């Protein structure tokens, strides 16, 4: 498969999947009614932040797939994507903050495991996942804070 086409497919899968899940699991009235911590970001920030992260996630997945599509790193990449796509329906759609916290902790663990597995083999991909790890670590703290406040 052409490298450009395969990159485009990764971008469509990740960005398209993320946007679809975002549009079908909007925060809504329930989220608006929650007590929020003072560090809660404004709602407008989440869309651009996740769009940028999804573009990086897709690029890293494509690099990993180009290098070794059946390697353990690729399995970690798929695991983090599945957990990522699961969190929003649990948190916003089903309003299950405690279960969503478990999922986002597993997501952070998968991201960190991917970074560790990539560090010697593909340092660029490892570094490109660092902003994602930081954002998800913040999201863990936010999810926990919302759970404790409500």
What tens digit of pLDDT does each residue of 56-113 get?
999 999 999 999 877 899 999 999 999 999 999 999 999 999 999 999 999 999 999 9
Cα 96 to the chain's mean position, in Å? 18
Supply the pLDDT for residue 141.
Answer: 98
- pLDDT 10s digits, 17-38: 999 999 999 888 999 999 999 9
Q: Is the pLDDT of residue 1 over 80?
A: no
Nearest CA-CA partner of 74 in 82, 64, 66, 84: 64
Contact 66, 77 (CB under 8 A): no
Go through the chain and tell me how many residues it has: 150
The pLDDT of residue 69 is 78
Surface-to-core class of residue 10, CB atoms within 10 Å of its CB (0-12 exposed, 13-18 middle, 19+ buried): buried
Q: What is the pTM of this model?
A: 0.95
Residues 6+ apart with CB under 8 A from 118: 64, 73, 125, 126, 129
At 24 the pLDDT is 94
């Amino acid at each position: 498969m052409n490298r450009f086409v395969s990159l485009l497919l990764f971008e469509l899968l990740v960005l398209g999947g993320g946007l679809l899940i975002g549009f079908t699991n909007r925060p809504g009235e329930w989220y608006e009614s929650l007590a929020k911590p003072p560090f809660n970001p404004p709602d407008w920030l989440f869309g651009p932040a996740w769009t940028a992260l999804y573009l990086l996630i897709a690029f890293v997945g494509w690099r990993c797939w180009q290098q070794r599509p059946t390697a353990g790193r690729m399995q970690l990449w798929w695991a983090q994507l599945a957990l990522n796509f699961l969190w929003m329906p649990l948190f916003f759609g089903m309003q299950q903050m405690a279960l969503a916290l478990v999922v986002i902790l597993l997501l952070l663990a998968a991201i960190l495991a991917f970074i560790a597995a990539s560090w010697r083999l593909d340092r660029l991909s490892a570094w490109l996942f660092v902003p994602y790890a930081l954002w998800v670590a913040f999201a863990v703290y936010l999810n926990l804070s919302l759970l404790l406040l409500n």
